[in-house]
């Protein structure tokens, strides 16, 4: 998914803050609450759904961060001339 590509890109281009955020969001911040909530609702099926939903949420967040950075870059280029 997009997560893997973006995470590797951030690490390679020395955007460590973005890479750390994406990794932490995927590995701790999003998956743990989803596993706890969905496992109560659907038992083991909920646990597996949590993994899939985590990937979608992290992908959406990653795309949002990328768009925000692109807009910021475009605005800074316009200001500089």
- Digit-coded pLDDT (tens) for 13-69: 667 787 788 888 888 999 999 999 999 999 999 999 999 999 999 889 888 888 888
The total number of structural domains that make up the chain: 1
CA distance 21 to 65: 10
End-to-end CA distance of the chain: 36
Domain residue limits at 37: 2-80
pTM assigned to the model: 0.75
> Coil, strand, or helix at residue 14?
coil
**Alpha-carbon dihedral of residues 56, 58, 59, 62, nearest 10 degrees?**
160
């Amino acid at each position: 998914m997009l997560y893997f590509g973006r995470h590797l890109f951030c690490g390679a281009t020395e955007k460590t803050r973005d890479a750390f955020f994406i990794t932490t969001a995927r590995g701790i911040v999003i998956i743990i609450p989803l596993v706890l909530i969905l496992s109560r609702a659907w038992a083991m099926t909920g646990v597996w759904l949590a993994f899939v939903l985590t990937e979608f949420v992290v992908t959406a967040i990653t795309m949002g961060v990328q768009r925000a950075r692109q807009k910021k870059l475009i605005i800074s280029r316009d200001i500089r001339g």
